[in-house]
Amino acid sequence: MREEKIGVLCSGRGSNLASIIAAVERGDIRAEIAVVIADKADAYALERAREKGIPAVAVVYRDYAARADFEDALRAELSTHGVTLIVLAGFMRILTPAFVHAYAGHILNIHPALLPSFPGAHAHRDALSYGVKVSGCTVHFVDEGTDSGPIIMQAAVPVHDDDTEETLAARVLAEEHRIFPEAIRLYVDGRLQMDGRQVRILPCQ
């Protein structure tokens, strides 16, 4: 089994990054976080990485004339650090099909809704507006669409009558911190088998 090297892409605070780092430190995820990349120079995720001695790089979107140039810079950093698995942890940029194809089957994302319901950037607002009684989060492989890749794992939370976007987000985030490291662990351990849209979790060997 090869040793996986994880590249985490972030845009903000990096709370999911923190849960992944903790899982690596506990030995739950038997892999190295090789680099953390943020598309904003002031993303707190970079500070979280530096505090743990993890290489942290800002590849700032607005510094590039075209999205292809931005993605070329991302790919260069990922290659430099030998990344074999890309984890999108609150990364707020849509990746082009060319980028996705280059890492097909090796990009994981977490989305704060029970996909295929409420894809996109405003999942909590959309869930509350629709009046659902249950929401949650989804870990999935990334494909060329928006939050449309094969589903690996989901967790559900109740939606309360008095919920705001903030209260619902906090409840969902707690589940994100639980299932995202677990899904990464399954990938690293070679226990995810993809057959079309179906992702099967294989038993332990």
Residue 198 identity: Q
* Alpha helices per DSSP H over 30-140: 44-51, 67-80, 97-102, 123-130
Classify residue 35 as exposed, middle or buried by CB count within 10 Å of its CB (0-12, 13-18, 19+).
buried
d(Cα 113, Cα 127) in Å, to the nearest integer?
8
For 130-154, letters b (16+ CB in 10 Å) and e give eebeebbbbbbbbbeeebbbbbbbb
Chain position carrying tokens 């995720």: 45
Which own/partner pairs from 113-118 qualify as long-range (CB within 8 Å, at least 24 positions apart)? 113/137, 113/138, 113/147, 113/172, 114/138, 114/154, 114/156, 115/140, 115/147, 115/148, 115/151, 115/154, 116/147, 116/148
The answer to whether 122 is a known catalytic residue is no
Q: Which of 81, 106, 111, 122 is catalytic?
A: 111
**Residues taking part in catalysis:** 111
